[in-house]
Amino acid sequence: MNKFYLKNYVAFIKLCNQVRMAHPDNHYFMTDRILKIAHRGYSEKYPENTIPAFIKAIEFGADMIEFDIHLSRDGRIVVIHDDSIDRTSNGTGMVKDFTLNELREYDYSFNFGKGMIQIPTLEEVLELSAGKILLNIEIKNCPNNYAGIEKELVETLTKFDSIESAVISSFDHHSLLRMKGINRNIKTGMLYDSLWIKFREEIRELDVYSLHPGIDSAYTSELKWASDAGYKIYPWVAKSRKDMDLLAGTGWVHGIMVNDLRLFRQ
């Protein structure tokens, strides 16, 4: 954590201590207000970005699932985090170099011992989630730029009547602009892990619905400004109850991404 974030973090800790003294019985976490967001599904206990991880997140009571998308060689939207299949499957190679059928030949159980698990398509996730859970879909457009992925995504969401239940996020802010150009009603989320001088200007220009800061970037006055201005704040990724309490204690966080959903019950 650099000096800029450390200074904000220390100030934030002091604020939390003041709140604790004023409300000693308050656990600082309101599950009726802060969304329980399953990062890559229930990825602590099940293979990330797979149907089992999403099913278990729904069964646990998550409010939203976060997952990542790429395009296969034959133009199908598939759900996987990395731009290669090396880390999460028993195969090797870049996602963009395989057709969907070829990607389906590999096991994505990610050493969890859950048996053969195939890579999911976006359509399968939308069919599974319909009417059950909100969606946070991250377009993985870096370093590979998937031409046309935004158009394909909007068409698929429309087909499954999922526009209202989805937030589309990306580190590629040009991709967010393209999403808005296709459908102004799409809710977009700006992913980032550090602040910059024209932070507020870019938020306004992108016309986003939500901000998705890395956890080290969540303790700043800029996010209080954003929350006061009506933007939703969804930090990633809390890995301890201390993280959860600190984020909830800000008063400007609307949802928290976690790998381990049990943190919401501790």
Q: Which pLDDT tens digit goes with each residue over 55-82?
A: 999 999 999 999 999 999 999 999 999 9
CA-to-CA distance for 168 and 147, rounded, in angstroms?
16
Concerning whether 81 is annotated as a catalytic residue, the answer is yes
Per-residue confidence (pLDDT) for residue 127, from 0 to 100: 98
Catalytic residue among 23, 81, 173, 174: 81
CA-to-CA distance for 218 and 253, rounded, in angstroms?
9
Concerning whether 173 is annotated as a catalytic residue, the answer is no
Count other C-beta atoms under 10 Å from residue 45's C-beta.
17
Q: Which domains does the chain have, with CATH numbers?
A: 30-265 (3.20.20.190)
Per-residue confidence (pLDDT) for residue 213, from 0 to 100: 95
The Cα angle at residue 66 between residues 63 and 70, in degrees rounded to 5: 150
Catalytic residue among 39, 70, 173, 212: 39
CA-to-CA distance for 28 and 13, rounded, in angstroms?
13
CA-to-CA distance for 79 and 142, rounded, in angstroms?
15
Low-confidence ranges of the chain (pLDDT < 50): 1-31
Pull the structure tokens for residue 14.
Answer: 């002091």
